[in-house]
Amino acid sequence: MSTMPPAAEAHPTRSALPAWAALIPVVLLLVVAGFFAFGLTQDPKAMPSTMIDRPMPEFDLARLTPDRDALTNADLIGKVSLVNVFGSWCSSCVLEHPQLTEIGKSGTVALYGVDWRDPPSDGAAWLNRYGDPYHKTGVDSDSRLAINLGVTGAPETFVIDRGGRIRFKQVGPITPEVWSTTLLPLIRKLEAEAA
């Protein structure tokens, strides 16, 4: 009596899917894991700035104190400058203050301050307490300029080229590292550009 062939040979397996289909879930898992690996390592607070390469918005800022010069749009034309948004209420601004003081003293670049959402007296008191690193300062008490600049928090620092265009936005304090690796090289580069 002849033996029966094994069932698997006589009847193909019930599944219509080819063998490689077993890898589909693995591939799906890898794709999902890839998305997570990318998404979860991004900073959800980091926002792309839409203001890069656009001209500095027109602004009309109040003087910090009557004896100080007003900051105007004209100040930003003809030389590379930094516009630093700060406030007496802003704790990280104290952090970057020593670096700003050094930048202001060095004369490497024109340094302007925008005292944001601050009663002018508070801003002036803050500058008296820590020292005033700015060549000129304006007060933006109702966020008019801040919103126009797409500011989301303080401190933020804008690098303005000779033509008065925004070329870079530094979000967060200017640490010595940020200064030497990012801002200073960029300022040197912008200074080399024709106006």
Chain positions contacting another protein, by CB under 8 A: 1-2, 4-5, 10-16, 44-45, 47-51, 117, 142-144, 146-153
- Specify the residue, 41 or 50, whose C-beta has the smaller distance to another protein: 50
CB of 38 to another protein, least distance (A): 12
CB of 81 to another protein, least distance (A): 20
Q: How far is 103 from 81, CA to CA, in rounded Å? A: 11
CB of 132 to another protein, least distance (A): 24
- Specify the residue, 12 or 107, whose C-beta has the smaller distance to another protein: 12
Q: Are 139 and 61 in contact (CB under 8 A)?
A: yes
CB of 69 to another protein, least distance (A): 25
Q: Is the peptide bond before 55 cis (omega within 30 degrees of 0)?
A: no
- Specify the residue, 5 or 107, whose C-beta has the smaller distance to another protein: 5
Q: How far is CA 8 from the centre of its chain?
A: 64
CB of 142 to another protein, least distance (A): 6
- Specify the residue, 113 or 150, whose C-beta has the smaller distance to another protein: 150
- Specify the residue, 7 or 194, whose C-beta has the smaller distance to another protein: 7
Burial class (CB in 10 A: 0-12, 13-18, 19+), 162: middle
- Amino acid of residue 61: L
